[in-house]
Chains A and B, each alone.
Chain A
Amino acid sequence: MWPRPDRGRSAKRRNSLTGQSSSQPLWEAVPRTTARIAEASAPGTEGSPLPSPLYRRYLKRKRRARLLVTASQLALLALLLALWEMVARLGWVDSMLTSSPSKLAGSFRTLAAEGTLWKHTWTTGLETIAGIAVSMIAGMAIAVLFWWWTYSAKVLEPYIVVLNALPKVALGPIFYIWLGDRYSVYGMAVAISLIVTIMMIESGFKELAKTKLKLMESFGATKLQMLRMVMLPASVPTLIAALKVNVGLTLVGVIMGEFLSSKAGLGYLIIYGGQVFQMDLVMVSVCMLALMSVVLYGLVNLLAKLLTRKYPVDR
């Protein structure tokens, strides 16, 4: 008496998508070319295994819209570069102040050949990644502690608020004295990103505690089980959001730290270029920095995609 007819049908239809069991004969019956299209265009999506012409048109339109956006983005970049080059060449502005793309390309080549640019970029990149890792791990550990032992969260709350409001740059000299010129950069990076990370992860935890943990409680789960089975997997979206914020903040911290004290890194290069009035050096370093943040964001997005595939949470 059980499976109602429509349920049974939809179950079979879904199965046929993942290519399991009963659907095999259906695939056989399909002309090969069509089957390939179905496989290529609709992996893991809902719907019939044979895309209808309408669905194919929808996919095509989507792809075209995406292409248009990318093309426009590239065109905009080219336009800006051309404009920059033009105003410098035509002498509408003083090229001593603005430099120009062609001059930048030139100094990029010389700097790259010398190897100093790579060295400084590498230093900044390493500092940033280490900073992100430290603030994420420490932030998570502290947020877990706050959840596990609510008392500690309550006691420390005003301190967290004050630390969050405090302009971390003001701590620069202290970090310099305590940690020296190399490690004060890390100090600054972590100081800027840690508190926000804690606060983001903690608020994610609080939301969960109101809902999903009730079920865990009803089965008599221990705190460790709650952490492992619910808090961590359900926090993946929060963690990803925190990571994205972290990339930006940690970069600010690292560059700030380098401005204040360091003898290496892109921040140092920028400050140095400014002091000796070498606009090209400053601009190249800034471009390098922009490029680096693009790469970091790309990495974070990739990680986010992998993690969300493993721990899907719809909000």
Chain B
Amino acid sequence: MEMGTPQIELIDASLSYFTPKQETEAIRDVRLTVRAGEFVGIVGPSGCGKSTLLSLISGMLKPTQGKVLIDGREVLGTSPQVGYMLQHDHLFEWRDVLSNVTVGAEIRRMDRNRARRSAMELLERYGLGGFAAHSPSQLSGGMRQRVALIRTLVAEPDILLLDEPFSALDFQTRLTLADEVHRIIREQGKTAVLVTHDIQEAIAMADRVMVMSRRPSTISKVYEIRLGDEAGEDPTPWRKRESPRFQAYFNDIWRELEAHVAKTG
């Protein structure tokens, strides 16, 4: 985990969706570098292309122009290195919770027992220990979302792409889970890109927050978040929220976003 080498790199990446009726230019000329071990937050108005950006990094979409690189190599398809938690949970009703969270591990033919063990551990930790044998249809929306998150983690990716991972959770759970996920990502030195509509969440969790403009969108502004204490220690998202500078960041990003959202009229 060398710091400084870009792990994810987008070089003037553009993507247009083509359908027989029309073309939709989702993102245009996005330049972005994410260092190994870095946590990047992305905020932007709805429909600006945040999910599209993650799909590009994951290799599920190819840029219509420009390049996407991971560890300096061009992305040609999905890779086990990348874990993508989709906006929708897509749980399989014909499998119980435990075998839902091990789906990724199964597809990638990872060690079964190891996957089950880490799955049980994560389920336990995220308050779903008693639900391993339940069917997804017996879970609430927020529980389903946690299952989807665990499914992404069990596949042990180096790079985590999280598309609004906490959107269905109540406020308390959201804060605690944010702390927990942040800790896991830091401990294991993973690189993470988090898409969210919650500005505070982005500030609290990320090292850098990027604001995307309206469609066709680019990254309009990047904020380095420095809420660590002088000792250089990395505080939890919870602690960061209590920092006096937190509000200043929030106001800045809010104003930047407001300019984009207001343009719709």
A interface residues, Cβ below 8 angstroms from B: 1-4, 7-8, 11-12, 14-15, 18, 46, 211-212, 214-221, 225, 229-230, 233-234, 236, 310-314
Q: CB distance B107 to A312 under 8 Å?
A: no
Q: CB distance A215 to B80 under 8 Å?
A: no
Is B245 interfacial (CB 8 A cutoff)? no
Q: CB distance A217 to B60 under 8 Å?
A: yes
Interface residues of B in 93-144 (CB under 8 A from A): 93-95, 103-104, 106-108, 125-127, 129-131, 133-135, 137-138
Our pick among A7, A11, A219, A230 for the contact of B92 (Cβ within 8 Å) is A230
Query: Which residues of chain B are within 8 angstroms of A216 by Cβ–Cβ distance?
Result: 107
Q: CB distance B130 to A219 under 8 Å?
A: no
Query: Which residues of chain A are within 8 angstroms of B13 by Cβ–Cβ distance?
Result: none
Is B196 interfacial (CB 8 A cutoff)? no
Query: Which residues of chain A are within 8 angstroms of B133 by Cβ–Cβ distance?
Result: 18
Task: Tell me the complex Cα distance, A312–B126, Å.
Answer: 25
Is B213 interfacial (CB 8 A cutoff)? no
Interface residues of B in 160-202 (CB under 8 A from A): 172-173, 176, 180
Our pick among B77, B103, B134, B180 for the contact of A215 (Cβ within 8 Å) is B103
B interface residues, Cβ below 8 angstroms from A: 58, 60, 77-80, 84, 86, 88, 90, 92-95, 103-104, 106-108, 125-127, 129-131, 133-135, 137-138, 155, 172-173, 176, 180
Q: CB distance A2 to B176 under 8 Å?
A: yes
Q: CB distance B130 to A14 under 8 Å?
A: yes
Query: Which residues of chain B are within 8 angstroms of A218 by Cβ–Cβ distance?
Result: 58, 60, 78, 84, 86
Query: Which residues of chain B are within 8 angstroms of A311 by Cβ–Cβ distance?
Result: 94
Interface class of chain B by DSSP: loop
Interface contacts (Cβ under 8 Å), in number, total: 79
Q: CB distance A234 to B92 under 8 Å?
A: yes
Q: CB distance B94 to A233 under 8 Å?
A: yes
Q: CB distance B134 to A2 under 8 Å?
A: no
Q: CB distance B173 to A4 under 8 Å?
A: yes
Q: CB distance A219 to B155 under 8 Å?
A: yes
Our pick among B79, B103, B126 for the contact of A229 (Cβ within 8 Å) is B103
Q: Which 3 A-B pairs have the closest CB atoms?
A: A11-B130, A220-B78, A215-B90
Most buried by B among A4, A218, A221: A218
Task: Tell me the complex Cα distance, A233–B100, Å.
Answer: 13
Query: Which residues of chain B are within 8 angstroms of A313 by Cβ–Cβ distance?
Result: 93-94
A13 and chain B: residue at smallest CB distance = B130
Our pick among B92, B94, B126, B155 for the contact of A2 (Cβ within 8 Å) is B126
Query: Which residues of chain B are within 8 angstroms of A2 by Cβ–Cβ distance?
Result: 125-127, 176, 180
Q: CB distance A229 to B107 under 8 Å?
A: yes
- 20 A-B pairs besides A3-B129, A233-B95 with CB distance below 8 A are A2-B126, A4-B127, A7-B127, A8-B127, A8-B130, A11-B129, A14-B130, A14-B131, A14-B134, A18-B133, A212-B90, A218-B58, A218-B78, A219-B78, A219-B108, A220-B79, A225-B107, A311-B94, A314-B93, A314-B137
Q: CB distance B103 to A219 under 8 Å?
A: yes
A and B contact pairs by CB, cutoff 8 A, 6 listed: A2-B125, A2-B176, A214-B60, A220-B108, A229-B107, A312-B94
Task: Tell me the complex Cα distance, A18–B131, Å.
Answer: 12
Task: Tell me the complex Cα distance, A312–B131, Å.
Answer: 17
Shortest CB-to-CB span from B65 to chain A, Å, is 22
Shortest CB-to-CB span from A8 to chain B, Å, is 8
Q: CB distance A233 to B79 under 8 Å?
A: no
Most buried by B among A7, A8, A46: A7
Query: Which residues of chain A are within 8 angstroms of B104 by Cβ–Cβ distance?
Result: 219
Task: Tell me the complex Cα distance, A149–B182, Å.
Answer: 43
Query: Which residues of chain A are within 8 angstroms of B125 by Cβ–Cβ distance?
Result: 2
Query: Which residues of chain B are within 8 angstroms of A212 by Cβ–Cβ distance?
Result: 90, 92
Shortest CB-to-CB span from B122 to chain A, Å, is 11
Shortest CB-to-CB span from B123 to chain A, Å, is 11
Most buried by B among A3, A211, A215, A236: A215
Q: CB distance B107 to A234 under 8 Å?
A: no
Query: Which residues of chain A are within 8 angstroms of B127 by Cβ–Cβ distance?
Result: 2-4, 7-8
Task: Tell me the complex Cα distance, A4–B126, Å.
Answer: 10
Query: Which residues of chain A are within 8 angstroms of B90 by Cβ–Cβ distance?
Result: 211-212, 214-215
Our pick among A8, A12, A219, A236 for the contact of B94 (Cβ within 8 Å) is A236
Task: Tell me the complex Cα distance, A252–B19, Å.
Answer: 43
Shortest CB-to-CB span from B103 to chain A, Å, is 7
Query: Which residues of chain B are within 8 angstroms of A221 by Cβ–Cβ distance?
Result: 107
B55 and chain A: residue at smallest CB distance = A218
Task: Tell me the complex Cα distance, A15–B173, Å.
Answer: 23
Task: Tell me the complex Cα distance, A212–B58, Å.
Answer: 17
Query: Which residues of chain A are within 8 angstroms of B126 by Cβ–Cβ distance?
Result: 2
Shortest CB-to-CB span from B229 to chain A, Å, is 22
A215 and chain B: residue at smallest CB distance = B90
Task: Tell me the complex Cα distance, A216–B133, Å.
Answer: 22
